[in-house]
Amino acid sequence: MPSAAGSGTPRVGVLSLQGDFACHRAALEALGVEAIRVSLPEHLEGLEAVVMPGGESTAMLRLCESTGLRGPLERFVRERPALGTCAGLILLARGADLLPASTLDVLDVDVARNAYGRQIDSFSEAIVWRDDAEPLDGVFIRAPRITRVGKGVEVVATRSSGEAVGVRAGFTVGLGFHPELTQDLRVHRWFLAEVVGLRVPAPPVRSRLGAGSERS
């Protein structure tokens, strides 16, 4: 499957320092993309885009610093497409509370960490996804709440109440829920096709993956 930039299989990185990176890799591979684990600066070379998964945002920031990945990752997401889910959204956001270091500040939104409650309060509900008639199954695990959406940031996913749970600004996308934990590959396919600009097939049906212990 050729990429928009040339021949060969597209390579998309998945930040793999901590958290729910395996399910994102499975979703990307189901769509014909070579999913590359990113844990060191050199792993970013030659990638079309990067996915930043759920996990513990504090641990991710500390590991980015200790591995030397912070600077290269920040430069990458300012120049290339990025999809952040849950903790990944926190890292991409402009503002977030109670973090040991600053965010990457590439997405003009503010978020409140763990705003929907503790692990025991995790839930799943139907999400309105862009203009699709069929809702998404939104899985929320100690999820961040988007408290401010900046000018020029598009809301791409909402709860039934109208609360924003997914946003896009240019080639940067942030989601408060976990699309990788469901059988529905529409989000990953949309990101690859519409945001990254790759040619990808229609998403196959994929068995639901079990929700882990992701924390934002």
Query: Where do the H-state alpha helices sit in the chain?
Result: 21-30, 57-66, 70-79, 87-92, 186-190
Among 178, 188, 194, 214, which one carries the catalytic annotation?
A: 178
Beta bridge partners of residue 17, listed in sequence order: none
Among 24, 180, 188, 214, which one carries the catalytic annotation?
A: 180
Quickly state the pLDDT bin for 191 (edges 50, 70, 90). very high
Pairing of strands 154-158, 145-149: unpaired
Does the annotation count 23 as an active-site position?
A: no
Does the annotation count 24 as an active-site position?
A: no
Is pLDDT of 205 > 70? no
Distances (CA, A) of 57 to 27, 49, 173, 195, 216: 22, 20, 17, 24, 5
Specify the higher pLDDT residue, 211 or 139: 139
| Domain range annotation of the chain | 11-196
Its pTM stands at 0.89
Is pLDDT of 169 > 60? yes
Over the stretch 84-138, which tens digit does the pLDDT of each residue have? 999 999 999 999 988 888 999 999 999 999 888 777 778 899 999 999 999 999 9
Q: Single out the residue of 67, 11, 7, 77 nearest to residue 40, CA to CA.
A: 67
Distances (CA, A) of 118 to 54, 121, 135, 215: 15, 5, 25, 9
Which 3 state secondary structure label does DSSP give 14? strand
Token pair recorded at residue 56: 């513990």
Which one-letter DSSP state was computed for residue 191? Answer: I
Over the stretch 2-26, which tens digit does the pLDDT of each residue have? 343 444 799 999 999 998 899 999 9
Among 24, 48, 86, 188, which one carries the catalytic annotation?
A: 86
Using an 8 Å Cβ cutoff, are 84 and 91 in contact?
Answer: yes
pLDDT of residue 3: 42
CA distance 214 to 6: 36
Across the chain, mean pLDDT equals: 90
Using an 8 Å Cβ cutoff, are 180 and 208 in contact?
Answer: no
pLDDT of residue 216: 57
What percentage of the chain carries pLDDT values higher than 90?
Answer: 79
Class of domain 11-196 as given by CATH: alpha beta
* Mean pLDDT of all residues in 138-147: 93
Which one-letter DSSP state was computed for residue 120? Answer: G
Return the residue matching tokens 């399910």.
Answer: 23
Which 3 state secondary structure label does DSSP give 25? helix
Using an 8 Å Cβ cutoff, are 157 and 175 in contact?
Answer: yes
Least confident of 50-59, 96-105, 155-164: 96-105
Least confident of 80-84, 126-130, 180-184, 209-213: 209-213
Which one-letter DSSP state was computed for residue 188? Answer: H
pLDDT of residue 8: 78
Does the annotation count 178 as an active-site position?
A: yes
Is pLDDT of 212 > 50? no
